[in-house]
Chain A
C-alpha cells in the first residue's frame, strides 16, 4: 500500500544542482499520464482527430513550396521542393512545439502548482514527449514522400544520427523553454516576446532556404545558431544534398548540454517559490 519510509525535509535552500532524478522516477506514472493527456486533449472534439498532426505540416509545406519555391524562387540545393520544405518544417515544428509549450509551464499551471506538490519538471517533460509523438507521425509522412522521390535523392549513413538530431532538437527547445518559463514568472513581457521571437528564429534558421545561399559573411552567424547543423544535417542525411560538418554538429551537442543544464538550474530555483511572485 503506502510507503511508511517516505521522508522529506523542507529547507529554505536546496542545492540547485540536485535535479532529483529519483523523485522523477517515482512519479513516472504521472509523467506517462501527462503525456497521454497532452496528446489526447489536442484532438478531442475535433473531426479529423489525429489527422491534424499530418495536415498541419503538409499544408504549411505546400504553402511554402508555392510561395518560396514557385514565386520567390528560393533554390533548394536541387532537392525536390516538397521534400525540402517538409523535412525542414517538421524538424522546426518539433523544436517550436517544445519551446512554446514548455515556456508556458509556470504561468499556465500556476493554479495547480499553487495547491499541490509534484515534481514540476514532469509538465514540460511531458510536453516534449507528447510533441515527439506527433513528430513521429509526421516523420512517417516524410518517409512516404521520400520514398516517392527515391530516384532523385540518396540517403546518407548520417541518417543513423536521426535519433540524436531529435534528442538535440528536443533538448534545445526544452532548455530554452524552461529558461523562459522561469523568467516569465517575474517578467511577463517575455511571454509576448516569445511568440515572434520563435518566428524570427525560424527565419534565422535554414528552414525555408538552404545554408548554401547564405552569403559568406553571414554564414558564421548562421552556424552559431545551434539548429542550423541539425536541420541541414537532417536534410543531408535524407537527400545527400546540403551541408553536414562534424564540428558544427559537436557545437550543437555542447550547446544543447549547456542550455539544458542552465535551464534545469533556473527551473529548480524558480519552482521553489515562484508561487510568491507569479
Chain B
C-alpha cells in the first residue's frame, strides 16, 4: 500500500524562559497550552511545577508511516507530544530535526470554524475556508450546494456568521470541513466540542471519508472508545517518544497499562508533594483499602497545605474512566482561604459506580480559578459482585446506580 505520510526521526525542542518580552508569564502559559494540546486553562496550570528545565523535548526521534486510506489513531497522555506532532504535520510549526514527507493535500479539522470571519456571510466563509485549503473557485463552486445542503442553514447562508447561533455555526463549519475532500484529514479532539448528535455526525463522516472515499485520516483523542471504533491502527506516544505502533486494540492496552503506575494511596512530606506556590499536596488515598466492589461506599480522601489567603477555596473533583470518559465532576462546599492544612473527603455512595477502573483528578479552585490541578491523582478499581440474576457479563454504562423503582401490576 502506498504511504500517505512518512515521519522520520522527528524531534521538537522548546525553550523555556528564553524570551525577554514583558509577558514572559503569558508566553509560558500559552506555550504550555499548546504543548499540552488544547486551550484548557486547568491543564495549563497543572504544568506549573514542571517548568524548571530550560529546554523541553516535546518530541524525540519519532518515526512511523501512515498508509494511504488508513485511519490512524494517535494516543497518549497529556503532554505526550500528540498535538505537537499534529502541528508539525499540518505545518503550523517546524520540527527541530527530522523530516516528514506528505503525499497529498492536508486539511485539519482541529477546531471547527477555524478561519471563519465573523463579518462575512456563511457563503463567503465557505469560499474562504476552501481557499485556505488551497482550493480554487471552481472546485468550491462544485461543492457549494452540497455543503449548504448538508449544513441545513440555507436560509441564513447570506447572513454574517456572527449572527449565527452556535449550533448553526458548528454545523456550517463541519459541513465545510467534511466536504472539502483533502487526501489527508487531521482530526484533533473534535469530540471535545459540540453536542452528542454533532459528535455522532462527526464520527460517522470520518469513517465515511476513510472507508468510503479511501482517504487517510489521522485521529487524535483521549477517548479510547472513539479511537477503537474508528481506527484500524494506532500509535502510542509517551513523553515525546514513540512507545508502540500496531493494531488499535493492542495499542489501547499499552495505553491503559501506562496507568498502572498511578497508586491508590500516597503520602508526601511538606516539601516533596505535588503542587505549586498555592497548594502542596500531603496525601491522597482511597478508603477502604484493598478490594473494592460495586456495592462499597468509596471515599476519596486527600489533604494539602494551602497558601491561598484571598477569597474562597473549594474542590472540583473529576472522575474519569481509563478510556478518558468523564464520569462526573463534583464540587465541594466553599471554605475561606487561610494558610492551613486542608483536608477533604468526598464520599461516593455504594451501588453507584460500575465495574471499571477509575482515575481521579483533583482541581483546587480559588476565586473561581484553578489554583492547582492534580491530574490523575488516584486510581482505583471497582470489582463485580455476583448478581441476583446470575448473569456475569459486563454491565453497560459508565455508572451503575441503584435507583428506586416502582413496580405495579394490574389485572387486565
Contact = CB atoms under 8 A, between A and B. Distances in A.
Interface of A: 1-4, 6-14, 26-27, 29-30, 33-34, 37, 40-41, 44, 112-118, 186-189, 272-273, 275-278
B132 A10 contact: no
B53 to A, nearest CB: 16
A40 B128 CA distance: 14
A2 B34 contact: no
B22 A12 contact: no
B182 interface: yes
B91 interface: yes
Contacts of A41: 117, 119-120
Given A2-B105, A118-B133, A186-B19, 5 more contacts: A10-B89, A12-B95, A27-B134, A41-B117, A116-B108
A9 B95 CA distance: 12
A273 B105 contact: no
Contact of A30 (B88, B90, B111, B128): B128
Interface of B: 14, 19-23, 27, 30-31, 34, 87-108, 110-111, 114-115, 117, 119-120, 124, 127-128, 131-137, 139, 160, 181-183
Contacts, number: 126
A273 B104 CA distance: 23
Nearest to B84: A276
Nearest to A274: B93
A116 B22 contact: no
Given A116-B110, A187-B21, A276-B31, A12 B102 contact: no
A124 to B, nearest CB: 16
A235 B97 CA distance: 54
Contact of A8 (B30, B102, B181): B102
Contacts of A114: 34, 87, 92
A26 B131 CA distance: 10
Most buried by A among B107, B119, B182: B119
Nearest to A119: B134
Contacts of A30: 128, 131-132, 134
Most buried by B among A4, A26, A40, A116: A116
Contacts of A40: 119-120
Given A10-B91, A33-B128, A277 B19 contact: yes
A263 B305 CA distance: 53
Nearest to B98: A12
Nearest to A30: B131
Nearest to B105: A6
Nearest to A272: B94
